[in-house]
Chain A
Amino acid sequence: MRREPPQTIGDYAPLLFPAAMLTIFFVVPFGTMIAVSFFQRQQGGFYTPAFVFDNYARFLTAFFGGVLGFSLMMAIAVAICCVVLALPFTYMLTRMARSVQVVWLVALLSVLSLSEVIIGFAWSTLFSRTAGITNILVALGLMGEAKALTPSFAAVLTGMVYQAFPYTVLVLFPALVRLDPTLTEAARTLGASPLKAFFTVVVPALRNTIVATLIMVFIFALGSYLLPQLLGRPQHWTLSVLITDQAIYQSNMPFAAAMAVFLVLVTLGLVALTVIAGRKGEAA
């Protein structure tokens, strides 16, 4: 039974339910959100249909601009840390026995499925004064007395890298596992050290994969919502936190929607820029 174009209306039947569900519950909500972002807010948490740019104008103030800048910077830092850590790890993992790979993959999937709440709770415990890792350092004589490492930028970064690391490995895995092993073998035969072969053969061969992974981890990290609240100070809060705050606690849906639309645009814009840059680099 080869693939063939639909002959009758009946052939479209299987598409009906998925198409309806995705349209009603994804396309329509997305459109609703865009519409609401232009609505006028009323006192007391309601809003009325309108077409105003106030919500966007408010967003372009120094405060929210700063939050946006911080969110982007944070996500970029997480993406770079994750790829630097995960690339050699995934490469070596794909060269191991399949049974070993399976054990690691199960572990990574389990960590990936951990709720952000749980990751935040675990790291806030690890960084606390009473039950944290500084106690171990004290016991080893490396430190005078235990101290709290949270809230801080480093704590938020650690939590977010922890959350995104398994995701990074799983995004890199397919490309690395399919990488032709003869490439590195050739380099080794010609006398390159394993490290040199990795940096001169594997990394350049995976240029596009690395760029794609950076983008995907960047978007993943941009979605982090609880970790900045649990591990950071208010100045470490990201756009996701502010959007939820406006939507739920300030009952300002139009403003929350405007921020969300802006976040989508910035995300897509950055992705497009990176893709274009990647194409140019390839042509050169």
Chain B
Amino acid sequence: MTSIFRKFYFFLIALFLALPLIVVAGVSVNQKQTLAFPPQGFSTSWYGEIFLNPEWRNALMASVTLAVLSAALAVTIALPLAWFLWRRIAPWANIFQLLGVAPFTLPPVITALGLLTFWATVGFYGQPWTAVVSHAIFFVTLPLVTLSLGFTSIDRSLVEAASTMGADERTVFRTVVLPLILPYIVSGYAFAFVLSLNEYIVAYMTVGFTMETLPIKIFNALRYGYTPTMASVTILFVTTAAIIFGLVARFGDLPKLLGAMSSDGK
């Protein structure tokens, strides 16, 4: 590909990806309560609104709490599973790997409806904690994939050396495996956290009427009249996502996490 063609192509893709964000950023600093673009006047008051208006603040709190807890639960499900599959020869256990990947592979409405019928049947429909479990199951794929990748990159002779020196299983895990796998735990958590923050359909189907997360709040706001606060929340969220992924890239090998070979060619 010639360089000019490539630059033009990349510019068009960048424009396509950025255009909605440019517009939303513009709307978010409107002075008046309209969705005008280009923005009329300049004001950052809509960003303040997120934290000052109790409705938006509660939605923000709900989303952050949900994301923090469900990502943690997803990691606690994925870590022992990935470790077991790396440590043991038990082919039938791969079925759980498959189950861990399935919820994220099927159309989300399937997982959402399955969980809705389940929570309704057992009588917990609408409880806030059901959303935590639902999101953890829905996003368990992400830490599972990063952790499986992380375990394959561990040099087994290191572990062997530790056990020859007399370390028992638990000590080996704590002193050798855990430090090596930590970056993958963090990135798996980060992926699940960011996606949970923005997830709509599973949250809506499980706790939509009792708990309003930010995506649900934005959708409800879209139906009953626009406010620039929606735009400010959007910018706040996309910035958060960019910072988190930026940190993952800064402290880890992002291309490798996404399937490339590591930078030293291993």
Please report A residues at the B interface, Cβ cutoff 8 Å.
1-6, 11, 14-19, 21-23, 25-30, 32-33, 36, 85, 88-89, 92, 94, 98, 101-102, 105-111, 113-123, 125-126, 128, 130-133, 135, 162, 165-166, 170, 173-175, 177-178, 194-195, 198, 216, 219, 222-223, 225-226, 230, 239-240, 243-244, 247-248, 253, 256-257, 260, 263-264, 267
Compute how far the CA of A117 lies from the CA of B258 in the bound complex, rounded to whole angstroms.
Answer: 26
B258 and A85 form a contact (CB under 8 A): no
Residues in A neighbouring B2, C-beta threshold 8 A: 194
Please report B residues at the A interface, Cβ cutoff 8 Å.
1-2, 6, 9-10, 13-14, 16-17, 19-21, 23-24, 27, 35-37, 76-78, 80-81, 83-84, 86-90, 93, 96, 99-100, 102-103, 105-118, 120-121, 133-134, 136-137, 140, 156, 159-160, 162-163, 172, 194-195, 197-201, 204-205, 208, 214-215, 218-219, 222, 230-231, 234, 237-238, 241-242, 245-246, 249, 254-255, 258-261, 263
Q: Is the interface of B mostly helix, strand, loop or mixed?
A: helix
Which of A92, A126, A247, A257 meets B23, CB within 8 Å?
Answer: A126
Which of A23, A115, A177, A263 meets B259, CB within 8 Å?
Answer: A177
B255 and A102 form a contact (CB under 8 A): yes
A118 and B234 form a contact (CB under 8 A): yes
Which of B35, B81, B156, B241 meets A1, CB within 8 Å?
Answer: B156
How near does chain A come to B169, taking the closest CB pair, in angstroms? 8
Residues in A neighbouring B156, C-beta threshold 8 A: 1-2
Given contacts A25-B118, A26-B103, A32-B114, contact A173 B259 (CB under 8 A): yes
B96 and A243 form a contact (CB under 8 A): no
Task: Taking A25-B133, A92-B6, A248-B208 as given, write out 14 further A-B residue pairs in contact, using a Cβ cutoff of 8 Å, ordered by the A residue number.
Answer: A5-B88, A18-B78, A18-B100, A29-B111, A36-B121, A102-B249, A109-B245, A114-B241, A115-B198, A115-B199, A121-B218, A174-B259, A223-B106, A239-B109
Residues in A neighbouring B90, C-beta threshold 8 A: 5-6
- Chain A residue nearest to B102 in the complex (CB): A26
- Chain B residue nearest to A220 in the complex (CB): B107
The 17 listed contacts between A and B (C-beta, < 8 Å) are: A1-B156, A14-B83, A26-B102, A33-B110, A36-B121, A108-B17, A110-B238, A115-B199, A115-B218, A117-B218, A118-B198, A122-B23, A166-B17, A174-B260, A222-B107, A226-B200, A244-B109
How near does chain B come to A44, taking the closest CB pair, in angstroms? 15
B17 and A111 form a contact (CB under 8 A): yes
- Chain A residue nearest to B90 in the complex (CB): A6
How near does chain A come to B31, taking the closest CB pair, in angstroms? 15
Residues in B neighbouring A219, C-beta threshold 8 A: 105-107
A121 and B230 form a contact (CB under 8 A): yes
A32 and B117 form a contact (CB under 8 A): yes
Which of A18, A33, A92, A115 meets B10, CB within 8 Å?
Answer: A92
Given contacts A14-B84, A26-B102, A27-B99, contact A3 B89 (CB under 8 A): yes
B260 and A173 form a contact (CB under 8 A): yes
Compute how far the CA of A118 lies from the CA of B238 in the bound complex, rounded to whole angstroms.
Answer: 10
Which of A17, A22, A122, A132 meets B100, CB within 8 Å?
Answer: A22
A130 and B36 form a contact (CB under 8 A): yes
A22 and B137 form a contact (CB under 8 A): yes
A17 and B260 form a contact (CB under 8 A): no
How near does chain B come to A66, taking the closest CB pair, in angstroms? 18
Compute how far the CA of A4 lies from the CA of B115 in the bound complex, rounded to whole angstroms.
Answer: 36
Compute how far the CA of A240 lies from the CA of B76 in the bound complex, rounded to whole angstroms.
Answer: 30
Compute how far the CA of A57 lies from the CA of B13 in the bound complex, rounded to whole angstroms.
Answer: 45
- Chain A residue nearest to B20 in the complex (CB): A122
A243 and B109 form a contact (CB under 8 A): yes
For B27, B208, B249, B263, which residue has the most chain A Cβ atoms within 10 angstroms?
B249
Compute how far the CA of A256 lies from the CA of B35 in the bound complex, rounded to whole angstroms.
Answer: 36
- Chain B residue nearest to A1 in the complex (CB): B159
Compute how far the CA of A27 lies from the CA of B218 in the bound complex, rounded to whole angstroms.
Answer: 32
- Chain A residue nearest to B100 in the complex (CB): A22
Which of B17, B88, B117, B219 meets A257, CB within 8 Å?
Answer: B117
Compute how far the CA of A263 lies from the CA of B114 in the bound complex, rounded to whole angstroms.
Answer: 13
How near does chain A come to B125, taking the closest CB pair, in angstroms? 11
